[in-house]
Amino acid sequence: RSLALGGPEAVKRQRARGRLTVRERVARLVEPGSFMELGMLARSQDPALDATTAADGLVTGFGKVNGLDTAILAEDATVLDNTDAQVAALKRARLLSLTARTGWPLVFLADRGEGRTVTVKEATLIGGAARQEPEPEVGTWPSLTVVAVMGNCFGPAATLATAADFLVLVKGASLRLAGSGGQGDPGFHVEATGLADRVARDDPEALAILREFMSYLPANTALKPPRRDADDSAERPLADIAALVPEDLEKPYDVAPVIQALVDQGSFFPLKPDFGTGLVAGLARLNGHAIGVAASQPLHGGALDGAAIHKALRLARLCRRFRLPLLFIQDTPGYAEGSAADQRDLLAATGELVRTIKELPAPKLVLVLRRGHVLGDFVLGGRKLGIDYIAAWPLAELATTEPVSFGAAAVPPPAQRRGPWTAAGLAMIEDVLEPPETRRRLVQVLEIALLAREVPAVPPEREAEL
C-alpha cells in the first residue's frame, strides 16, 4: 500500500505537472538496488486518513550516491499534497538526527503544501513525539547537505533548503517561508536573492546536477576533499589561451573560457551563474583535486557590486567548510558605484568575505590576467589574506590610483609602475607567467601547497621553544 503513494488520481496529477513521483526521484538519484527505506509503514496520526497517507507523505532512508552512503529525505506531494504531515515530521527528525551522528551526506527532495490542520489532542501527541526526537539545529551538522526544490517548499522545509550547502530549483517550483506570489519562483531566487545555486529544466536534470555537485565534496567536514585520477595532463599546452584575453584593457571578454582552459577539461561546475554577474564562481578540478574558482567577469565590466561579493562569500564559505583550495582570477577595475544602501551592503559583505578567506585552511592561489585595481584585487585574494601564491600575466596592470610624484625623478613611468615587473621585483607577487605556462605552474603550486598542509602542526608544548 505504501508503494501506491497517494493513489492513482494523485499520481496522475503529479505527472500532469511534468514531475516524477517521489519513488521515481529516489530511484533515479541512488545507485540501483542500494536504497534502504526507513519508516515505510508510517501513516497519519488521524485514523480516518490511514488509507490515504502512504509513509505519511515522506520517504526516508539511505542509498548510495556517487558510491557514498547517503541519507535521503524525499517529500511526496501525492499524499494530501504533503501538507505538513505530523508523523512524517517525526521521521524527518529521526533521519536528521541520525545523519548528524553518522556524518553521512544528506539529500532533501522538497515538494510540499502549506499545512494540515490538526486537533488539540493530536497536537499534544505530536509535541511529545517531537520532544523525544528533536531535530538538530539547521546548518550545525557536519554532513554535506544538498537540496532540490521540485515543487512547493514552505516553512521549516524552506529553512533547511536555504541553509544547505547547495540548492537547485526546478522550473515551476516555489521556495518561500509562507504566502504566494512571484517572490518565490526560481527566477526570483536566481536573479534577486541569489539563494538558488542552479536552476534545472525538470526533475531528472535536477537530480543529475545534485550528483555532479556532490562529486566535488567529501561526505562531511571531517574528511578530505575527494581527488579523482586526473584525466587531463598538467602539461597540456595552452597555446591559444592568450588570445582569449584582449590586450586592450577597455575591451570586454568572457572569462569562462579562460577558466575552462586552466582547469581539468570539462570539470568546471558554475554556481549562481545568473546572480552577481560581475563574478564567475564555481567548482572545478585541477590535476584531479577539487577546487573553488572565483573570477571577475570583464564581459559585464568586472566591477564588484554587492551581489558579486555575496556570491564570492558563498563560495568562500563552502571552501572553508570543506577545506577546498580556492583559485582567484582577477581582472577587475575595483568596486561598482551604487546607492548608499548598496554601499552599506557591499561594505558589510566585503568584511565578511575578507574574514572568511583569511580563515580558509586550504591553499589559496591568485592569477591576475589584466587589471587588479582599487582594492578589488584585495578582496579577490590580497596578500594579507593568507594567500599562498600570486602570479600575473605580462599584460597585467597592478595599481590603485595614480600616485603623486612629488617631483621624484627616479619614479618609473606609470605603465612600468602598474605592470607586474615592479611587483615581482619587490616580491609582492611570486611569478610573471607566460599564458601558455599558467596551467602547469598552478598545478605545481597546488601540489606543493597541499603537501605542506600534510605536515603535522607544531605541538603546543613546542611552540614557545620554537
Say if CB 301 and CB 333 are below 8 A apart.
yes
Q: What is the pLDDT of residues 274-286, one digit of tens each?
A: 999 999 999 999 9
| Residue 185 sits in the same domain as residue 268 | no
Question: Are 300 and 164 in the same domain?
Answer: no
Looking at the fold, whether 407 and 446 belong to one and the same domain comes out as: yes
Pairing mode, strands 174-175 and 269-271: unpaired
Number of domains in the chain: 2
101 and 182 together in one domain: yes
CATH number of the domain at 365, please.
Answer: 3.90.226.10
pLDDT band at 105 (very low <50, low <70, confident <90, very high): very high
159 plus 287 within the same structural domain:
no
Residue 284 lies in a domain: yes
Q: Which residue would you say has higher pLDDT here, 207 or 131?
A: 207
Nearest to 324 by CA among 142, 450, 180: 450
Q: What pLDDT score does 191 carry?
A: 80
Distance CA 301, CA 277 (A): 9
Structural domain of 331: 241-452
Residues 64 and 128 in one domain: yes
Same domain, 179 and 275: no
pLDDT attached to residue 209: 98
Phi and psi, residue 453, nearest 5° = -80, -10
Q: Does some domain include residue 207?
A: yes
Judge if 250 and 334 occupy the same domain.
yes
d(CA 34, CA 315): 32
> Which pLDDT tens digit goes with each residue over 46-85?
665 655 566 677 899 999 999 999 999 998 887 765 555 6
**366 vs 447: CA distance, rounded Å:** 15
Task: Read off the pLDDT of each residue in 416-436 and give the average, rounded to a whole number.
Answer: 85
Q: Are residues 208 and 275 both part of a single domain?
A: no
Rounded Cα distance between 445 and 111, Å, is 45
- Does some domain include residue 465? no
Read off the pLDDT band of 456 (50, 70, 90): low
Backbone phi and psi for residue 370, each to the nearest 5 degrees, phi listed first: -130, -60
Identity of the amino acid at 243:
A
In a domain, 200, yes or no: yes
% of the chain surpassing 90 pLDDT = 49
- Comparing 155 with 22, the larger pLDDT belongs to 22
Q: Quick check: 357 pLDDT over 80?
A: yes
Residue 144 lies in a domain: yes
Final residue belonging to a domain, choices 179, 214, 249: 214
Average pLDDT on 351-366 reads 95
Share of the chain above pLDDT 70, in %: 78
**Which carries the bigger pLDDT value, residue 298 or residue 5?**
298
230 within a domain of the structure (yes/no): no
Residue 462 domain flag: no
235 part of a folded domain:
no
Task: Place 405 in a pLDDT band, splitting at 50, 70 and 90.
Answer: very low
Arithmetic mean of pLDDT, 431-457: 89
- pLDDT at 403 (0 to 100): 41
Q: Is the pLDDT of residue 115 over 60?
A: no
Q: Are residues 378 and 414 in the same domain?
A: yes
Using CA atoms, how far apart are residues 70 and 63, in angstroms rounded to an integer? Answer: 5
**Among candidates 190, 197, 200, which has minimal Cα distance to 283?**
197
Between 175 and 43, the higher pLDDT residue: 175
195-226: pLDDT as tens digits:
999 999 999 999 999 999 999 999 999 999 99
Mean pLDDT, residues 430-457? 89
Residues 6+ apart with CB under 8 A from 211: 29, 65, 66
Whole-number pLDDT of residue 40: 74
Distances (CA, A) of 358 to 282, 353, 390, 413: 19, 9, 15, 34
**Average pLDDT, stretch 83-109?**
85
Co-location of 441 and 350 in the same domain:
yes
Written as one string, the DSSP assignment of 161-182 is: HHTSSEEEEETT-EE-SS--SS
Q: Which of 197, 214, 231 is the last residue of a domain?
A: 214
At residue 329, the pLDDT reads: 96
Residue 290: pLDDT over 70: yes
Q: Indicate if 48 and 158 belong to the same structural domain.
A: yes
End-to-end C-alpha distance for the chain, whole angstroms? 69
- The pLDDT value recorded for residue 411 is 43
Measured distance CA(187)–CA(181) in Å, rounded: 12
**pLDDT confidence of residue 409:** 43
Q: What is the pLDDT of residue 404?
A: 40
CB 45 within 8 A of CB 122: yes
- pLDDT class of 187 with cuts at 50, 70, 90: confident
Model pLDDT, residue 138: 62
